[in-house]
Structure 1
């Protein structure tokens, strides 16, 4: 279940920025050795690894295209070589490309499906084969599967599929003592969310939840830490982490 020195090991895809970075920091603070995955921003991943090391933690930066099965296998290999095994996989890697369905380009659609759905599938498949007993797989959806805002159609379609994939995988891992859950954040102040939105739109979305603010990446990381460790009786669920947004 753990490395020889009783350290649990986590791999966070998309760990170099936004929610992924907050999840890495929280898991490292909880004592995990963490593999910080990046796709294009190696410098950000390296900086986060250095930050964790300065605080006495253990981390490595690992690059891969999450939709490439060969690259993902190498990603898992590198994590296991560095830390001796793997207990938790957190799938935060994703892209958001918005637009009305009637005007949405198929090239753009294929790109978002490849990253958000195929990428989650490829990483989840590897996790199902390699996460140790007592571990956890944590995928990511969105609260827009409930709010169903115009312009989010293809994005929501990929995330709804992730929720379904999570539910099935949780049942397929029966007897392994591995939980599989999905986190569905609401509007969260990350570059991915804020990109392309004007101040009025951001303010409107911030007021939508009863707590009347945007979520912070650290808020979402709290849910990740819960599912990664103490939440051993939460399995096959989607946790809407959104401040009470409908």
Structure 2
């Protein structure tokens, strides 16, 4: 009888291959793909696995007749927006910004920095966009007042009070619902935010400048404007003012 000597390392290798083969049979996920039989398999073609299909974008909701009729009166709408801003919105928002900032602690590095002597100057609207949607009875309004400014000084212990001027654009977004009832306007959403901020000052101290700049440019200013405005001006008050001015320009006359 002829004997064959198989090294122990070879026996180990053969055993490992046997286990892998059995595992592939037991688990299809570990099985070797036969590319001759399935040439279009992702691992055979070298292409990445197909991604899930994106959800279809819902079709826009057609505007209701009253929305179409109101939007057709673009001249009256522009007059209403300009008047509402100059007679109501500009003054109210300027006061809310002043109230929010006066005495505000803004320091993260130096904890005793407080703003004082705040004055606010809001400019006229440069952008007035009105469009239908998102709902059938809704219109979306976007307003932008550019290059507004806030003047303030900071109370800093043992340092000359630095004074600051912050330039910023103010963006307002509203969603209004319209109907033929006795109260034809309802404010559904209102948001205010500041963009394109530029902080300038005198008596500058590095850490103070950083703290002031972080507050105005880091999102805190925008959040506080929106929070203060939405808490102080109810949607019902805002809707009532818009309606009163819209009636002046006959926006809803005959609808």
Pairwise TM-score range, normalised by the shorter structure: under 0.3
Larger Rg: 2
- Ranked by relative contact order (alpha carbons within 8 Å, sequence separation 6 or more), the top structure is 1
Higher helix share: 1
**TM-score normalised to the size of structure 1?**
0.23
Greater fraction of residues in strand: 2
